[in-house]
Homo-oligomer: A and B are copies of this chain.
Amino acid sequence: MGCCHSCLHYVLDYETPKTLVIQSKAVGFVFRFTQLLVILYVCVVQKGYQETDSVISTVTTKVKGFAYSNTSDLEHRFWDVADYVIPPQGDHSFFVLTNIIVTPNQTQSRCPELPTPSSICTADCDCTEGHSDPRSNGRLSTLGDNKHNGSQTCEVLSWCPLEIDTNLPKHAMLAAAENFTVLIKNSVTYPKFKRNIMPQINSSYLRRCEFNRITDPDCPIFRLKHIVSEAGEDFQSMAVKGGVLGILIDWSCDLDWWAGKCYPKYSFQRLDNKNPNNSVAPGYNFRFARYYKTPDGEETRTLIKGYGIRFDVIVFGTAGKFGIVPTIVNLGAALSFLSLVPAVSDWVMLTCARKKDLYNKHKVTYLNEDSDSESVSG
């Protein structure tokens, strides 16, 4: 019961520091001024009064342009968007075909395996029916007539004729692709703020403009060659084996009314690893097929190994806007800075002030370890 009483005492006793009020304009001014600085810092530098929200965006891309190819396997040929843009939807990631290896008229049949160190065999070929080697192009079949350009190989059951992707054209087949243009429609939303931001350009400007960092930094129409060169690459050399190129759009915005308009900032960067030392098959390519049916109902396909540049439109950024909650929350940080202020002004007072000895005498009491007596300052 006594314990409880003392405990209550402990809880309800209020301990407050003894203070000394100094009626000096100089010191007072220093004090208030430092306080002001802190408040300013928290508001202006930290933007402590803002709550932030990260962007949600939608991207639509539309490529324009046509080109001509003139290669042996496909004769003189015209290419338009439907041919070279894969997938056609044109969302945030689109691929522009620049170089291809075509293997037309493939059918499910048997043909001799391509000659490789592992597949070539001399007189003694053990082509065990049904055995399939992961490194080969299909399941082995019986040893038939498999004279294939001189060297002997087993026959395989596969899409025949087999694709020969060793002789990739040295110069990109669709070199003209560098002059294609792409329109990037991009509008962003900040769900927390219910704000939907549209590009601030009129359509008449859009019809004729083309992006240029200096003259037209806001035009969302880009020439592929320009994008690639801004990323520090050469289009023609990149077009041969392909690659991945990032179009970074930075939507970091300050949505407070006094902050003015909110514009996207574009930057370009090669995203894939072109260094042959730590990657297999640098570049970017994939295989796809077009399926046909012969008049007698047999299925054939044209296998296309397409090389090209994949453009990834990457939208990022956070927006800040005045909010009451973060203001209160960040008050915390502010206060902890404010706790610095007295330290500063005390230091000023006790070192620089004219009457520092006086202040010192009344503020500080020195307690000497050895003696029991108080030794007053000075």
Point out residues on A near B: beta carbons under 8 Å: 9, 11-25, 27-29, 31-32, 45-46, 56, 58, 60, 62, 65-66, 68, 77-78, 80-83, 86-91, 93, 95, 108, 132, 134, 137-139, 157-159, 179, 183, 185, 187, 189, 191, 196, 198-203, 206-207, 244, 246, 248, 250, 267, 269, 271-273, 275-281, 284, 286-293, 295, 300-301, 303, 310, 312, 314, 316, 325, 329, 331-337, 339-340, 342, 345-346, 349, 355, 358-359, 362-369, 372, 374
Given that A56-B248, A82-B287 are known contacts, is A278 also in contact with B198, CB under 8 Å in the complex? yes
Question: How far, in angstroms, from A28 to B366 measured CA to CA in the complex?
Answer: 14
Query: Would you list 18 pairs from A and B whose C-beta atoms are within 8 A, ordered by A residue?
Result: A14-B21, A14-B349, A15-B20, A16-B19, A18-B363, A19-B363, A20-B367, A22-B369, A23-B368, A56-B248, A62-B286, A65-B134, A68-B132, A77-B108, A86-B89, A183-B280, A336-B336, A362-B365
Given that A88-B288, A90-B286, A203-B277 are known contacts, is A68 also in contact with B139, CB under 8 Å in the complex? yes
Question: How far, in angstroms, from A202 to B191 measured CA to CA in the complex?
Answer: 30
User: Contact between B29 and A19 (Cβ–Cβ < 8 Å)?
Assistant: no
B21, B68, B80, B137: the one contacting A367 at CB < 8 Å is B21
Question: How far, in angstroms, from A139 to B20 measured CA to CA in the complex?
Answer: 91
> Which of chain B's residues have a CB closer than 8 A to the CB of A82?
287-289, 301, 303
Closest Cβ–Cβ distance, residue A191 to chain B (whole Å):
6
Question: How far, in angstroms, from A286 to B183 measured CA to CA in the complex?
Answer: 12
Question: How far, in angstroms, from A56 to B317 measured CA to CA in the complex?
Answer: 11
Given that A13-B22, A20-B367 are known contacts, is A287 also in contact with B248, CB under 8 Å in the complex? no
Question: How far, in angstroms, from A161 to B89 measured CA to CA in the complex?
Answer: 23
Question: How far, in angstroms, from A23 to B20 measured CA to CA in the complex?
Answer: 21
User: Contact between A287 and B200 (Cβ–Cβ < 8 Å)?
Assistant: no
User: Contact between B65 and A21 (Cβ–Cβ < 8 Å)?
Assistant: no
- Shortest beta-carbon contacts, A-B, top 6: A12-B28, A58-B271, A332-B333, A88-B288, A17-B17, A336-B336
Question: How far, in angstroms, from A80 to B335 measured CA to CA in the complex?
Answer: 64
Question: How far, in angstroms, from A77 to B281 measured CA to CA in the complex?
Answer: 29
Closest Cβ–Cβ distance, residue A298 to chain B (whole Å):
11
B45, B83, B289, B314: the one contacting A83 at CB < 8 Å is B289
Determine which residue in A56, A108, A332, A340 has the highest number of CB atoms from chain B within 10 A of its CB, and name it. A332
**Nearest B residue to A207 by beta-carbon distance?**
B280
> Which of chain B's residues have a CB closer than 8 A to the CB of A333?
329, 332-333, 336
> Which of chain B's residues have a CB closer than 8 A to the CB of A248?
56, 191
User: Contact between A271 and B187 (Cβ–Cβ < 8 Å)?
Assistant: yes
> Which of chain B's residues have a CB closer than 8 A to the CB of A366?
20-21, 23
Question: How far, in angstroms, from A358 to B24 measured CA to CA in the complex?
Answer: 25
User: Contact between B278 and A201 (Cβ–Cβ < 8 Å)?
Assistant: yes
User: Contact between A89 and B310 (Cβ–Cβ < 8 Å)?
Assistant: yes
Question: How far, in angstroms, from A342 to B15 measured CA to CA in the complex?
Answer: 9
Closest Cβ–Cβ distance, residue A249 to chain B (whole Å):
11
User: Contact between A364 and B21 (Cβ–Cβ < 8 Å)?
Assistant: yes
Given that A280-B207, A316-B56, A332-B336 are known contacts, is A290 also in contact with B291, CB under 8 Å in the complex? yes
Given that A277-B203, A292-B292 are known contacts, is A284 also in contact with B19, CB under 8 Å in the complex? no
Given that A22-B367, A345-B14, A366-B21 are known contacts, is A78 also in contact with B159, CB under 8 Å in the complex? yes
Closest Cβ–Cβ distance, residue A209 to chain B (whole Å):
10
**Nearest B residue to A245 by beta-carbon distance?**
B58
B196, B273, B290: the one contacting A269 at CB < 8 Å is B196
Closest Cβ–Cβ distance, residue A69 to chain B (whole Å):
11
